[in-house]
Amino acid sequence: MTTADGIFVHQFELGPWQNFLYFIGDRATRSCAVVDPAWDVETIFQEAERLDVQIDHVLCTHSHFDHVNKVDDVLRERDVPVHMLGAEIDFADFRCENLERHAPGDVIRVGDHLEITMIHTPGHTPGSTTYRIRDAIVTGDTLFVEGCGRCDFVGGDPETMYRTLRKLTASLPPMTRMYPGHNYGPTPVSSLDAELRDNPYLQHTTVEDFVRHRMEGKTPGTNLPPPPAWP
């Protein structure tokens, strides 16, 4: 668990596709948000109990099955809001109890000290979201350590992904800590300056070169079948 300035970010891996889940919270109140609850709800709550934190929010980076398949199970245990950008709700026709529709730039408050900002980062899906926590970001399937999300699923767009990655890396400080949605890289956590140096998808200066690389190349771990559509 990483802690700083009264907040914490806890990363743990679940599922057959090496998903990273996160607890992001306020150290003083022990209130937290769980990011992309999937695969094993019992383990999610056991981890919360082990850390002595309480899940008070669900944050969804996007609607793919491997990131949301335990949202309903979390809600059976905890009557908490589920946060997703409106663009993603509309794209996937996503449904669950307590769903809150958001716009880019909306701020979610957790506990007494934590503010989480929703950044619209389309490309993997039309409403993909990166969550900013002070000097860190949780990127879902937008940006991986030395990789980026696939753009060949329904709703993916490599040209949009190229613009998203350029805007994201240009608009945030280079030392911003980056927490990805899957454990596909050589390290579980990175920073934007390291990614600008080492990530092959961030080396392209033209959209044409990026599209060619993204649509022909393979990011480690992403040669997986498309996730099932939301029912």
- What pLDDT sits at residue 5? 74
Question: What integer is the mean pLDDT of 50-76?
Answer: 97
> Given pLDDT bands bounded at 50, 70 and 90, which one contains residue 231?
very low
**Phi/psi of residue 193, nearest 5 degrees:** -65, -40
Q: How far apart are CA 204 and CA 134, in angstroms?
A: 28
> Given pLDDT bands bounded at 50, 70 and 90, which one contains residue 137?
very high
Task: Return the structure tokens found at 88.
Answer: 């993603």
- Helix, strand, or coil here: 93? coil
- What pLDDT sits at residue 225? 46
Strand segments (E) across 162-205: 177-179, 190-191
Predicted structure pTM score = 0.92
Query: Does residue 222 or residue 121 have the better pLDDT?
Result: 121
Q: Kindly report the average pLDDT of the chain as a whole number.
A: 93
Question: What integer is the mean pLDDT of 13-37?
Answer: 97
> Residue 148 pLDDT > 70, yes or no?
yes
Asked if residues 124 and 156 have their Cβ atoms less than 8 Å apart, the reply is: yes
Using the CB atoms, write b or e for 15-43: b if 16+ within 10 Å.
bebbbbbbbbbbbebebbbbbbbbbbbee
- What pLDDT sits at residue 1? 58
> Residue 30 pLDDT > 80, yes or no?
yes
Residues found in the chain: 231
**CA nearest 124: which of 174, 39, 60?**
60
CATH superfamily of 2-216: Ribonuclease Z/Hydroxyacylglutathione hydrolase-like (3.60.15.10)
- What pLDDT sits at residue 87? 98
Domain ranges of the chain: 2-216
What pLDDT digit, counting tens, does each position of 194-223 carry?
A: 999 999 999 999 999 999 999 985 444 444
- What pLDDT sits at residue 216? 85
